[in-house]
Amino acid sequence: MNKRIYLDYSATTPMKQEVLEEMLPYFTERFGNPSSIHSFGREAKQAIDQARSRLAKAIGAKQDEIYFTGGGSEADNWAIKGVAYANRDKGNHIITTKIEHHAVLHTCEYLEKDGFEVTYLDVDEYGMISLEQLRNAITDRTILITLMFANNEIGTIQPIGEIGAIAREKGIYFHTDAVQALGNVKIDVNALNIDLMSMSAHKIYGPKGVGGLYIRKGVKIHSLIHGGAQERRRRAGTENLPGIVGFGKAAELAIENLDGHIRHVKDLRDRLIKGIMDKVDYVRFNGHPENRLPGNAHFAFEFIEGESLLLSLDMLGIAGSSGSACTSGSLDPSHVLMAIGLPHEIAHGSLRLTIGDFTTAEEIDYVINELPKIVDRLRQMSPLYEKVKGGQK
Amino acid sequence: MYSEKVMDHFMNPRNVGEIENADGIGEVGNAKCGDIMKMYLKIENDVIVDVKFKTFGCGSAIATSSIATEMIKGKTIQEALKLTNQAVVEALDGLPPQKIHCSVLAEQAVKSALLDYAKKHHITLDELNDFHPDEDHHEHGEEYEEA
């Protein structure tokens, strides 16, 4: 395998050189504990403050509304459990959707075992929720709406501003998992009426193992991790100093380059979609046609199975992902593909290719050239295809 | 995740295709679960002189079908009836735990094709008296989540 083509930016991104350089001194000479009173501690504390201010600026928040966590999943857990338990005296009802990330879904299921009631909103064939269904789901016991900004599989972006307005009007906290959206969509937490927002560094060319939760001032929330006084006493544990510095730099770069980034990945994404749709029959394009992440392309190829597609692509050095059952280790295809109403047999042939800043037109053209051949090879082996084509093709 | 043997049989599957006027055809699995194997046998004087397959499924489903055809080609019916899923797994230098069901499916595809042959030729194969290919073959490993 000579060249490798990475088209799985929604899984994780490579770190940018500028981010790495910013982080490096904080592993060695500027290693201090930010809680220490001496100069080592103070310079570490300063670095964290700078990162916090960069992140706040990126989403239109105040600096003291940003809390660093060990990643996006921790931020989701904290937001949902923290708000649920802190507001239990007001009610026990939470509204979410059927297409959330497992960090949200499994947290909600956990709370259901502890007496909370959860409404899982449906989505349409494009993965969009209905604002009417949302309004109808609200009761006087509803304390939290947790609804993802953009879907990690099919890329659909929800009407976050409208949802935020409804939540604000009804006096219900609104949390959004923006792990996929940050750095791909312009986000202003005030304009969108977001009360809590989960973020992750490694999806925006930053390091793994660090994320953040935006908590609007005044939101009643319990802590998840108790201990020292870090993060305004709300998230204990000595800070992941280099990680936080890297997250801050990555957020700054993401916002500086947002328009250019969107243009670059969207152009390549549209080129990929057109190339594949033109060359392959019996393929479905999933997600919303317009309201979607700029770098997300999601296909379902009929008569073949996603894992064999991924393996074949991998043999050519092309990295993608699939929501087929065989790659998730469970019997059913992904809950997102089920929620948009894809029949099982079509969902099994799904392929997600996600494009990022380092993707080139040559790489996309290579995929457009090779992918149809792989699909054809697998279809020639498939008894399902034989039925459609009468074994003739 | 997969052995070199599995990848070889996946990328270069043996005996792919169909046999016209096959003496026995077996089809197991279903599209909903994400794997279907169809096996065609040509049998002369109780010997499997040719075998072909078509499979819809993951890498290991294709690899197990491929190696199963190799393991029964040229063999007598009695020998082919002895093919077990464990033998298929061993021949592939192992399979991940959640993919063992693919080897079960391969064994069942062979047996289904032999049963079809027996029915068409009004033969009784005692070894297949208790064979029920429609039973749920799925024994996936522990679930885990994606990032």
3-class secondary structure, A178: coil
The domain in which residue B70 lies consists of 4-120
Report yes or no: A121 and A129 within 8 Å, Cβ to Cβ: yes
Q: Is A293 contained in some domain? A: yes
What per-residue confidence (pLDDT) applies to B146? 37
A54, A64: one domain: yes
Q: What is the pLDDT at residue A388?
A: 78
Check residue A233 and give left, alpha or beta (phi > 0: left; psi -120 to 50: alpha): left
Closest Cα in chain B, distance from residue A303 (Å): 7
Q: Do residue A242 and residue A271 come from a single domain?
A: no
Q: For residues A172 and A312, state if they share a domain.
A: no
Q: Which residues from chain A sit within 8 angstroms of residue B2, using beta carbons?
A: 311
Does B22 reside within a domain?
yes
pLDDT reported for residue B144: 40
Look up residue A369 and give its amino acid: N
Among A227, A256, A285, the domain-final residue is A256
Count of domains observed in chain A: 2
Domain CATH for B102: 3.90.1010.10
Q: What is the pLDDT of residues B60-91, one digit of tens each?
A: 999 999 999 999 999 999 999 999 999 999 99
Distance from B140 to chain A by nearest Cα, in Å?
7
- Point out the domain boundary residue: A232, A256, A280: A256
Which residues of chain B have a pLDDT value below 70?
134-147
In a domain, A314, yes or no: yes
Domain of residue A349: give its range: 258-389
Is B58 an annotated catalytic residue? Answer: no
In a domain, B130, yes or no: no
User: Letter for the amino acid at A24?
Assistant: L
pLDDT on residue A9 = 97
| Same domain flag for A86 and A124 | yes
For residue A10, tell me if it sits in a domain: no
Q: Are residues A173 and A241 in the same domain?
A: yes
Check residue A328 and give its pLDDT.
56
Q: What is the pLDDT of residue B135?
A: 55
Number of structural domains, chain B?
1
Q: With contacts defined as CB-CB under 8 Å, which chain A residues touch B56?
A: 303-305, 381-385
Residues A224 and A367 in one domain: no
Q: Is residue A2 part of a domain?
A: no
- Asked whether residue B80 is domain-assigned, the answer is yes
User: What's A113's domain CATH number?
Assistant: 3.40.640.10
Residue A312, in any domain of the structure: yes
Q: Please report where in the chains the tokens 């007001």 appear, as a residue.
A: A90
In a domain, A5, yes or no: no
Instruction: Tell me: do A48 and A143 sit in the same domain.
Output: yes
pLDDT of residue A341: 96
Q: How far is B35 from chain A (nearest CA, A)?
A: 8
Spatial distance between the Cα atoms of A247 and A252, rounded to a whole number of angstroms: 9
Contact B32 A305 (CB under 8 A): no
- Judge if A200 and A279 occupy the same domain: no
Statement to judge: residues A56 and A87 lie in one domain: yes
Q: Is B137 within the bounds of a domain?
A: no
Q: Look at residue A167 and tell me if it is in a domain.
A: yes
Q: With respect to residue B135, please indicate whether it lies within any of the assigned structural domains.
A: no
The catalytic residue among A326, A338, A384, A388 is A326
Global pTM reads: 0.93
Strand partners, B39: B26, B53
Task: Tell whether B88 is covered by a domain.
Answer: yes
Q: What is the mean pLDDT of each run of 10 residues along chain A (393 residues)?
A: 88 98 98 98 98 98 98 98 98 98 97 98 98 98 98 97 98 98 98 98 98 98 96 96 98 97 98 98 96 98 95 96 69 88 93 97 98 97 82 44
Q: Is residue A274 exposed (0-12), middle (13-18) or buried (19+ Cβ within 10 Å)?
A: exposed
Residue in B111, B101, B127 with CA at minimum distance from that of residue B72: B111
- DSSP secondary structure letters along A255-280: HHTHHHHHHHHHHHHHHHHHHHHHH-
Residue written as token pair 């005296």 = A89
Residue A200 DSSP SS3: strand
Q: So what's the pLDDT on residue A393?
A: 40
Q: What is the CATH classification number for the domain harbouring A274?
A: 3.90.1150.10
pLDDT single digits (tens) A29-80: 999 999 999 999 999 999 999 999 999 999 999 999 999 999 999 999 999 9
List for chain B the helix, strand, coil content (%; round to 5).
Answer: 45, 20, 35
Chain B contact for A373, CB < 8 A? no
Nearest to A384 among B10, B31, B58 (CB): B31
Do A272 and A191 share a structural domain?
no
Question: Does residue A11 fall inside a structural domain?
Answer: no
Give residues with Cβ within 8 angstroms of A283, minimum separation 6.
Answer: A276, A277, A299, A300, A301, A302, A375
Nearest to A123 by CA among A159, A91, A77, A87: A159
Name the average pLDDT for chain A.
95
Last residue of a domain, one of A192, A221, A256: A256
Query: B-chain residues within 8 Å CB-CB of A106?
Result: 145
> Is residue B91 included in any domain, yes or no?
yes
Q: Are residues A224 and A278 in the same domain?
A: no
